[in-house]
Amino acid sequence: MRRLPLIAALAGLALPAFAEDRALLMGVDRYDEFRRVNDATDIVDAAEDLRDAGYRVATLSNGSVRDMRRLLEDLATAAPDADRLVVALSGRFATDATRTWFLAEDADTPTPFGLDDAISVDTVMDVLARAPGQAVLVLGYDQDGFSSFGRYLREGVGRLDVPQGVTVIHGEPSRIEDVLTDAVAVSGADVMAYVRDNRRLNVVGYQPRSLIMQAEAQDQAPPPRPIIEPSLRAWNDAQEANTADSYRSFIFDNPRSPYVEEARRRLDEIERDPIRQAELDENGLNLTRNERRVIQRNLTLLDFNTRGVDGIFGPGTRGAIRNWQQNNGFAQTSYLTTEQINRIDAQARRRTAEIEAEEERARAEALALDRDYWDETGARGTVAGYRAYLERYPEGAFAEEARNRLAAVQETSNDAARAAEDALNINPVLRRLIENRLQQLGFDPGRVDGRFDDDTRRAISRYQRQGNLSATGYLDQATLARLLADTFGR
């Protein structure tokens, strides 16, 4: 459902006196609760090109949700009177497959009922819908990201319900700045042609054959390019690295820069923040994905649930590391050192040995019970004993021996039963009569032909069991007498 009434209310707060095209660029590469997103703040560098193209541009790097909402409310207020609208968001997103949110720097791990530290991408598209046909939303995020925020949310962008006339372009954070500087802000440039020629970009929503956001100037001199602070590029590089060394170098090389105070503040913050330093130290280990899987398997073996063994250190793994650190007397940073990785490995190896020893003891105890039962049953050499053992231990240590002995006893018994039947001298006519009777009684002797095959033997055995006779499958005097009596008695 669209939120147009809300947008209309925001737009009604103040109306500008004349139309003014707007652009809003927001990038977040540092998060309080998540790993950094490389190149996410590069999007802000497109501001000057858009200003030259006539846009009033607002930018925000690593902003809080409060600052994001303030800028979006300003955009919503100005949107109804703008001919062109451009918004670019780069960083981490969360989605439930149908709705999508852009996470602020101070965002907590999102849940379906707790997305207060994020802005709704759907509402941003509603604002852009105020300039149909000249509205572009650019999204930068990890196209291969598949982290989960629980059962209902995952990282990334879901299925967007794009309003009429809004074009949405998305790609890796390192690729989307060029869309603005080389297409959106360039006089006469076709945005759609640019996207089609770039395989690393995707587009949804309004997709005309040609989309020109910056018309070619008609005999007008280009506006003077504003003076750019010389240290801006170095400042952006320092923020991209976001390490104590990068800020120290910036302060040393640019002592008169207006960004020096902010660089000192961030340097102070890093040096005083043990968790941030722990993260940098772990990053310096350059753990491979396979090495991360080994760590996850070891933690799981030690009963610290990482919620999967996938080589990705998400919230589940970080929680498991933090719990392990607490149990082992380390600072609970949720980031690992070489010493801690070695200790986890040693504990996992010891636990593996303990498990193997426990399994060996269990096998020895089971074998002892198996042997005791055999001594009381099968070892006594009786048919009943063999059968009792096999019923209890069909795959036991003495099962094969019990089956072989039972088969030998049964074979001897069959030889005696066969000899007893041969002594009856049953002629072919009587054999057919016997088969016919077995058939009438429902014991299925197979074909009635006077030949006692396997089907006939099974039928005789079933008849004997039903009559509480010895079930050998061979006829003896008692079986034949009862069967003939049954026959002639009918």
φ, ψ of residue 89 to 5 degrees: the values are -125, 130
Structure tokens at 132: 């149909």
Whether 70 and 58 have beta carbons less than 8 Å apart is answered as: no
Confidence (pLDDT) at 108: 84
Residue 395 burial (10 A CB sphere; 0-12, 13-18, 19+):
exposed
H/E/C letters for each residue in the chain?
CCCHHHHHHHHCCCCCCCCCCEEEEEECCCCCCCCCCCCHHHHHHHHHHHHHCCCEEEEEECCCHHHHHHHHHHHHHHHHHCCCEEEEEECCEEECCCCEEEECCCCCCCECCECCCEEEHHHHHHHHCCCCCCEEEEEECCCCCCCECCCCCEECCCCCCCCCCEEEEEECHHHHHHHHHHHHCCCCCCHHHHHHHCCCEEEEECCCCCCCCCCCCCCCCCCCCCCCCCCHHHHHHHHHHCCHHHHHHHHHHCCCCCCHHHHHHHHHHHHHCHHHHHHHHHHHCCCCHHHHHHHHHHHHHCCCCCCCCCCCCCHHHHHHHHHHHHHCCCCCCCCCCHHHHHHHHHHHHHHHHHHHHHHHHHHHHHHHHHHHHHHHCHHHCCHHHHHHHHHHCCCCCCHHHHHHHHHHHHHHHHHHHHHHHHCCCCCHHHHHHHHHHHHHCCCCCCCCCCCCCHHHHHHHHHHHHHCCCCCCCCCCHHHHHHHHHHHHCC
pLDDT digits (tens, 9 = 90+) for 17-55: 445 799 999 999 888 788 888 888 899 999 999 999 899
Computed on alpha carbons and rounded to an integer, the radius of gyration of the chain in Å comes to 41
The rounded mean pLDDT for the chain is: 85
Q: Which residues of the chain have pLDDT under 70?
A: 1-19, 143-146, 217-228, 486-490
Whether 234 and 253 have beta carbons less than 8 Å apart is answered as: yes
- pTM for this one? 0.45
Confidence (pLDDT) at 227: 63
Q: Which residues contact 22 (CB under 8 A, 6 or more apart)?
A: 55, 56, 57, 58, 75, 78, 79, 82, 84, 85, 86
Residue 127 to residue 147: CA distance in whole angstroms: 29
